[in-house]
Amino acid sequence: MKRSPSQAARPRYAVVAQTLIDDILSGRYAVGTALPTEHALCKQFDISRHTAREAIRRLQALGLVTRRAGVGTIVHTDHIAQRYMQVGDTVADLYQYAQDMAINVLDVSDIEADDDTATLLGCPEGQTWARLQGLRGMDPDALPMALTDVYIAQDYRGVLGDIEGSGLPIWSLIEARYGVIPSEVRQQITAVTLGHDDAVKLRATPGESALRITRHYLSDPTGTYEVAINLYPAGRFSYSNTLRIDPTAPLP
Amino acid sequence: MKRSPSQAARPRYAVVAQTLIDDILSGRYAVGTALPTEHALCKQFDISRHTAREAIRRLQALGLVTRRAGVGTIVHTDHIAQRYMQVGDTVADLYQYAQDMAINVLDVSDIEADDDTATLLGCPEGQTWARLQGLRGMDPDALPMALTDVYIAQDYRGVLGDIEGSGLPIWSLIEARYGVIPSEVRQQITAVTLGHDDAVKLRATPGESALRITRHYLSDPTGTYEVAINLYPAGRFSYSNTLRIDPTAPLP
DNA sequence: CGCTATTTGTGCGTATGTATC
DNA sequence: GGATACATACGCACAAATAGC
């Protein structure tokens, strides 16, 4: 298959996929109806079945179509834009959280990333990060709600002294001092079992269940620059949020 | 309905994929190292390159490996608990989730809401709801990922027969059949300890930690019409999403 | 009810392009 | 440049699921 040098080296399946996506979004293939069969696409675009399947696989990944043997490829929605807007996880909520759950610093240290830590932080092994451990709670005398481990890239360790008592999220302290804004925050929530040391610090029972929320703060070129791990014993906290319909989005 | 013998009906790529997953989890293929090349897998399992690629495609979808031409297939993580399963942000994610985690129905029944259930469902006591219990997983033979309890308002119980094998979220089945769209989805995530009955169904250990994700689907005038409770034993699943900073939000 | 046509799913063989070392 | 490994692309065959007669 000769391709003229001026022609962009775009895979054929990508061209076909984009064409189909455009057709779905423009209403040429209505929601609930079937897309052309693989065989039809082969003839229409003069491609092999393999290429047709690769193209449709992209539509599938976008949730635009569903496929079933014996039935066909059915258009399921004609808009890729998300219909649900996430609320309850906005910047304002994060500020509220930080103010309510002031941090009580237990320990500050420098660590050299070993194997596990490098994986967690997404950084080369041996790199040095600052680490802060503390308890979060509304009232210093009451049971703490969470055990917090925060890892901060070496460049921004200057915020360490500002954390306690500020009532501000750490990323906002970094922003204020260094002008670095997270372009993205990746959040992961898992269930874990409390180990002995963590349980003692939290005045909880070893073996008890706990919620672990890990947040990676990424800035655009440099990647991860802060990682916060919060450990909440079961019953002291539950994460909740609400998805709402985006009123501006078209209905299927 | 005919049920074929579980082993014979399994595609070859699924067998290969499961083997590779097991090998990664057991440490046979360490994080950061390369998986056998496609060519090696072909010889090792006596399969075609096409089948090998289909198997690796599954690992890729799970985020276990990354692939690059000229380099190879690199193991990204060996902690299935830290696998990134994107759920909850966009409609496409929810569809992807439902397709990957097909439901295996254990039980369907009608229940009359007692005190606790009425509170959970936000309905009057004594009201009748349909309840479906099932296991969610990618592979019927492997360990299930979650125990699912779904409560559906009496009016929409007609979707019950469509659930198994559809690979679609239940709320989207309700939408397709009855035209009811959730105006709001409330989601709550807590850590719990597995009880005996649930542990047995999940082939897990009683007393183990688990993640419980409860979703309330509300429509505008009628209120809650579906409640889904998913119970994930620790290590089998982790909830992850990405928060975007709202650039329009005022900073304190 | 079984039969058939249709459509996707699975699987194999082969060839060439592209990225990386 | 060469070697290696994945990416794309063509061909074919049969199986499984489904719909309609």
pLDDT on residue B218 = 80
When pLDDT is cut at 50, 70 and 90, the band that residue B96 belongs to is: low
pLDDT on residue A110 = 92
Same-domain pairing of A40 and A132: no
When pLDDT is cut at 50, 70 and 90, the band that residue B193 belongs to is: very high
- Looking at residues A47-55, what average pLDDT do you find? 94
- pLDDT single digits (tens) B17-47: 989 988 998 889 988 889 999 999 999 999 9
The one-letter code for the residue type at B10 is R
Domain enclosing residue A21, as ranges? 5-75
Using the 3D structure, point to which of A75, A102, A119 is the last residue of a domain: A75
DSSP single-letter state for residue B36: P
- Pick the closest to residue B206 from A199, A209, A194 (CA basis): A209
Residue A198 domain flag: yes
Report the chain B residue with the minimal C-alpha distance to residue A212. Answer: B191
Task: Verify if strand D has an atom below 7 Å from the CB of A73.
Answer: no
Average predicted confidence (pLDDT) for chain A: 80
Residue A47 domain flag: yes
Using the 3D structure, point to which of B22, B52, B75 is the last residue of a domain: B75
Same-domain pairing of A129 and A230: yes
Residues 6+ apart with CB under 8 A from B234: A190, A191, A192, A193, A209, B81, B208, B209, B210, B211
3-state secondary structure of B202: coil
Q: Which of A66, A90, A172 sits opposite B168 (nearest CB)?
A: A66
When pLDDT is cut at 50, 70 and 90, the band that residue B49 belongs to is: very high
User: Residue A228 burial (CB < 10 Å; 0-12/13-18/19+)?
Assistant: buried
A53, A76, A190, A238, best to mutate vs chain B, most B CBs in 10 Å:
A190
Same-domain pairing of B91 and B61: no
pLDDT on residue A148 = 93
Using the 3D structure, point to which of A75, A106, A136 is the last residue of a domain: A75
pLDDT on residue B170 = 86
Task: Compute CA distances B213 → B88, B139, B187, whole Å.
Answer: 11, 21, 7
Q: Which residues in chain B have Cβ-Cβ distances shorter than 8 Å to A238?
A: 188-190
pLDDT on residue B37 = 93
Q: Tokens in use for A17?
A: 């996929």
Angle, CA of B171, B174 and B175, to the nearest 5°: 85
Footprint of strand C on the protein (CB under 7 A): A 1, 3, 9, 34-35, 37-39, 50, 53, 67-73; B 11-14, 46-51, 54, 68-71
pLDDT on residue A6 = 35
Q: Which residues in chain A have Cβ-Cβ distances shorter than 8 Å to B181?
A: 245, 251
Q: Which residues in chain A have Cβ-Cβ distances shorter than 8 Å to B93?
A: 63
Min mean pLDDT across A30-34, A183-187, B79-83 is at B79-83
Same-domain pairing of A171 and A229: yes
Same-domain pairing of B17 and B55: yes
Q: Kindly report the CATH number assigned to the domain that includes residue B106.
A: 3.40.1410.10
pLDDT at B148 over 70: yes
pLDDT at A4 over 50: no
Distance from the B130 Cα atom to the nearest Cα atom in chain A, whole angstroms: 24
